[in-house]
Amino acid sequence: MEKVKVFTGSGSFDVREEMLKDSKDLLDNVEVTTVAQECVKLKQKEDEIAALEEQLKSKKAEADDISSRVIPELLAEQGLSEIKLADGSKVSVKKEYRCTLPKDESKRAQCYQWLRDQNLGDIIKNNVFVTFGKGEDDKAQQLLDLAAENGFEPQQKSDVAWATLTALFRERIESGLDMPSDVFSTWIKDRTKITRK
């Protein structure tokens, strides 16, 4: 049975050394050395990519803070909602809205009920699925009611697209109506937009 070396990421592990030890009868040392060198290069590149992705994540968070908090606060202190810069760019602050359904199924059910109670149920999409076995293509063509009468258990799933829900949320907030944040996942924040000339 062939032995497999496992690298766990802890301790010292020399890829080149291990490959040389394991390959005395399989490859000459030059080929193994080249493979080991390329493995080391790959590991270095993967580490560099991970570091750059972390830097990018940090820079995005900094930019988001400047856009959603710092600039809006500075403009608000001056009683402004937009300014023009010397280079002709226009800086403006607008509200950004987001509303989504929670992942928890019981909370989702509360969302659907709230929408129906507010006579907004028409934005809910209902998907009905029926599973048929092999050779039952003819039954698959029948209506949902007929499938249920024949002992199949259709699965029903409701959904509201986040963009539709967000549009509804924005419309309600701007009209002075509420949308329960204890039921829906909602947020409103300022967003700075720079329009370059």
Looking at the structure, do residues 55 and 119 belong to the same domain, yes or no?
A: no
Looking at the structure, do residues 85 and 58 belong to the same domain, yes or no?
A: no
Q: pLDDT of 92-105, one tens digit each? A: 999 999 999 999 98
Looking at the structure, do residues 29 and 120 belong to the same domain, yes or no?
A: no
Give the SS3 label for residue 97.
Answer: strand
Amino acid 90: pLDDT:
93
Looking at the structure, do residues 85 and 106 belong to the same domain, yes or no?
A: yes
> Domain range for residue 39?
15-76
Question: Which residues contact residue 128 at a Cβ distance below 8 angstroms, ignoring those fewer than 6 apart?
Answer: 144, 154, 155, 156, 157
pLDDT at 197 over 80: no
Q: pLDDT of 51-95, one tens digit each? A: 999 999 999 999 999 999 999 999 999 999 899 999 989 999 999
The DSSP-derived string for 145-194 is HHHHHTT---EEEEE--HHHHHHHHHHHHHTT----TTTSEEEEEEEEEE
Residue 107 lies in a domain: yes
Residue 113 lies in a domain: yes
Report the pLDDT averaged over residues 18-24. Answer: 59
Looking at the structure, do residues 111 and 178 belong to the same domain, yes or no?
A: yes
Amino acid 4: pLDDT:
54
Looking at the structure, do residues 23 and 101 belong to the same domain, yes or no?
A: no
Q: pLDDT of 131-183, one tens digit each? A: 767 777 776 666 667 767 778 777 767 788 899 999 999 999 999 998 888 88
Q: pLDDT of 28-48, one tens digit each? A: 556 777 888 888 999 999 999
What's the domain count of the chain? 2
Looking at the structure, do residues 26 and 104 belong to the same domain, yes or no?
A: no
Residue 5 lies in a domain: no
